[in-house]
Amino acid sequence: MSIAPIGVFDSGLGGITVLKELVQRLPQEDFLYIADSGHCPYGGKSADEITARARAVTEALLARGAKLIVVACNTATIAAIETLRAEYPVSFVGMEPAVKPAAARTYSGVIGVLATGAALAGEKLHKLIREHAGGVRVITQPCPGLVERVELGDLNGPQTRALVEEYTAPLLAAGADVLVLGCTHYPFLRPLVAEVVGPRIAILDTGEAVARRTEALLQAEGLLVVSPLPGKVQWFSTGDADAMAIIASRLWGKTVQVEALSD
């Protein structure tokens, strides 16, 4: 069982930011990455719709032997991870926006959280804010359209820049000195966000923490691969696999083959 792959999924390509951290931390493991591109974005969907998709993708990963599943999507984590944990026999690692480290880091006492509409609609994020950001003003900012720009591979064109300017302006105006990237697509936009907001603003995401948590869980369950050989990544898409291969290769940094998955 320890030689089984780790399953990773997202609505699309955003989870690649998490997969990079996972592969860096666990280079000997095999990974299955499913982009639910046929149903992307999740950000405008209801919790029930997102949960239905999370179930379908989880079942596809389990059918391919996943020993643990990383929900590399904040929106799906917020909408569906409790259901997934209750219904399936493997461990799930989810995303948790970096609200706690942001609250510890702010000097101005104001932090901004950039996320999808569906992630901000879920109770889970607000609970996190209540429990870990007491005494700090947290401003949440939905960012419609940003996921779609990343899906197109447009990480710094004029349309993407205009959206980043629009969504960060109110946070800066309110005095935020820490921004939390609460969607796994957004770390691809980190250089652009940094350019737009300037060097005084800290920008946080949680990909590395998720990789650490995954390693700890596999270790505790006796499921870490013991091998000197590097593992491999297999890529799947419920959308247009050829189109995904082009953009995913750019975002991943080397050529990937993507298998089409019927949903």
Q: Which residues are catalytic?
A: 73, 183
Binding characters for ligand DGL, 47-76, by CB under 6 A (x = yes): --------------------------xxx-
**Residue nearer to ligand DGL on the CB measure, 53 or 100:** 53
Is residue 205 a contact residue for ligand DGL (CB under 6 A)? no
Q: How far is the CB of 17 from ligand DGL (least distance, A)?
A: 8
With tokens 């993407």, the residue in question is 160
Using CB under 6 A, pick the residue from 5, 41, 94, 142 that binds ligand DGL. 41
Asked whether the beta carbons of 106 and 214 are under 8 A apart, the reply is no
Segment near ligand DGL (CB under 6 A); pick from 5-13, 60-68, 170-178, 227-235: 5-13
Rg (CA), the chain: 18
**Residue nearer to ligand DGL on the CB measure, 75 or 238:** 75
Using CB under 6 A, pick the residue from 7, 14, 142, 207 that binds ligand DGL. 14
Distance (Å, rounded) from C-alpha 237 to C-alpha 220? 31
Residues of this chain, 208-237, that bind ligand DGL according to CB under 6 A = none
Asked whether the beta carbons of 66 and 7 are under 8 A apart, the reply is yes
Q: How far is the CB of 75 from ligand DGL (least distance, A)?
A: 3
With tokens 């998720």, the residue in question is 210
3-state secondary structure of 91: strand
Asked whether the beta carbons of 21 and 208 are under 8 A apart, the reply is yes
The DSSP H or E segment spanning 109 is none
Q: Measuring CA to CA, which residue among 227, 216, 215, 181 is closest to residue 201?
A: 181
Residues of this chain, 121-180, that bind ligand DGL according to CB under 6 A = 147
Using CB under 6 A, pick the residue from 111, 168, 185, 187 that binds ligand DGL. 185
Asked whether the beta carbons of 15 and 25 are under 8 A apart, the reply is no
Using CB under 6 A, pick the residue from 6, 7, 8, 10 that binds ligand DGL. 10
The sign of the dihedral angle between the CA atoms of 242, 154, 12, 162 is: negative
Q: How far is the CB of 188 from ligand DGL (least distance, A)?
A: 10
**Residue nearer to ligand DGL on the CB measure, 8 or 23:** 8
Is residue 184 a contact residue for ligand DGL (CB under 6 A)? yes
Q: Which residues contact 205 (CB under 8 A, 6 or more apart)?
A: 17, 98, 180, 181, 184, 186, 187, 190
Residues that bind ligand DGL (CB under 6 A): 10-12, 14, 40-43, 73-75, 116, 119, 147, 183-185
